[in-house]
Structure 1
Amino acid sequence: MITVAEPLTVADRCDRCGAQAYLRVTLPSGGELLFCAHHARAHQDKLRQVALNIQDETSRLA
């Protein structure tokens, strides 16, 4: 089954600092992590290793 992720909104906040989230990481356990662009970049290598899916909306910042 294919699911379409809902777009991130201004209400979605970074789990690390509380800023607006532009990246949603879905974990194999079913959990989700949200990150601002800064923390997404800072943790990108580890996130790629553990993520089932990464929804990256950082292009909205350009």
Structure 2
Amino acid sequence: MQPGTLTRPELTAADRCDRCGAAAKVRAVLPSGGELLFCGHHARAHADKLRELEVDVQSGS
């Protein structure tokens, strides 16, 4: 995953993981412009595939 400068808003407590509904810690912006939100666990579980797809990643604070 490569960190990048995004113009999307910071993640908040209201943002939830698309896989399990836990608090989102990572926003993965796909090359097509879509996005996926992941908790820390699912971000790590999918890290290899996200890197392969050259996804732009924003980590929450």
Classify the TM-score, shorter chain.
Answer: 0.7 to 0.9
RMSD after superposition? 1.6
Calculate the TM-score normalised by the size of structure 2. Answer: 0.80
Q: How many Å separate the matches in 2 of 1:35 and 1:15?
A: 6
Three-state SS of the structure 2 residue aligned to 1:55 is strand
Structure 2, unmatched stretches of 5+, are: none
> Does 1:14 find its partner at 2:44?
no
Structure 1, unmatched stretches of 5+, are: none
Name segments (4+ residues, structure 1) moved above 6 Å.
none
Structure with a larger share of its residues in helix: 1
- Tell me if the contact between 2:6 and 2:58 (Cα under 8 Å) persists in the aligned partners: no
Name 1:42's counterpart in structure 2.
Answer: 45
Q: For residues 3 and 43 of structure 1, do their structure 2 counterparts lie closer, same or farther at Cα, with a shift above 3 Å needed?
A: closer
Q: How much has 1:12 moved relative to structure 2?
A: 0.6
Could you say which structure has the larger radius of gyration?
Answer: 1
Q: How much has 1:4 moved relative to structure 2?
A: 3.0
Three-state SS of the structure 2 residue aligned to 1:41 is helix
